[in-house]
Amino acid sequence: MFLASWKGLMAISTSTNDLKNGMTLDLGEGLFTVVEFQHVKPGKGGAFVRTKLKNLRTGAVIERTYRADEKLDQAIIEKRDMQFLYRDGAQYVFMDTTSYDQIQIDPASLGSAANFLKEGDSATVSQYEGEVVAVELPAAVELTIIETEPGVQGDRVSGARKPATVETGLVLQVPLFIEPGERIKVDTRTGEYLTRA
């Protein structure tokens, strides 16, 4: 492994033989996390590595095949535990829970995490070269229902849903018995209702 400077970015060159799940790579079209990889040694021809890579910014998954021992740039991602403090205009202000440093994050960098953030919530913020590339939340968060249609007495259709707006502005489908003011658990990966809190 050696350090390489390219386009002003620092990256570590690594071999495809050294890939690990969760490793982040700086490819030409962006930052990708290794979801899975498989070393293949066919009977004829050279060995190769088949990979599934997830784009850190968009979440899109691509499949790539590389020659064995091909060199790729590994991105060194800094992960920090942070707390969401408040919104300042369009920006989201976070505080490092260790150093108490504050940073502002654009909604575009937050991605879908913005739908689930309330003041005081904790998140893991990933940065590459000082730029926020991902914000990870717990698998489920508790949110309060702000607005939804009242449940109709006797309407107990199994699996029936109605739209509801939560305190962050997210609109999701909830069971008919959920009323305004109730707290619910929401899956941050899918944005779906899980249960009452």
Radius of gyration of the chain from its Cα atoms, rounded to whole angstroms: 22
Question: What integer best gives the mean pLDDT of the chain?
Answer: 85
Of the candidates 123, 57, 128, which has an alpha carbon nearest to the alpha carbon of residue 94?
A: 123
Domain identity same for 29 and 64: yes
Q: pLDDT of 128-167, one tens digit each? A: 888 888 888 898 999 999 998 876 655 566 678 899 999 9
Instruction: Please return the burial class of 52, using the count of CB atoms within 10 Å of its CB with bins 0-12, 13-18 and 19+.
Output: middle
Does this model's pTM top 0.75? My answer is no
CATH at 122: 2.40.50.140
Q: Please tell me the predicted confidence (pLDDT) of residue 9.
A: 44
Which residues on neighbouring strands pair with residue 95, listed in sequence order? 83, 102
Domain boundary among 30, 52, 74: 74
Q: pLDDT tens across 108-117, in order? A: 888 888 889 9
How far apart CA 58 and CA 106 sit, in angstroms, is 15
Q: Are residues 7 and 62 in the same domain?
A: yes
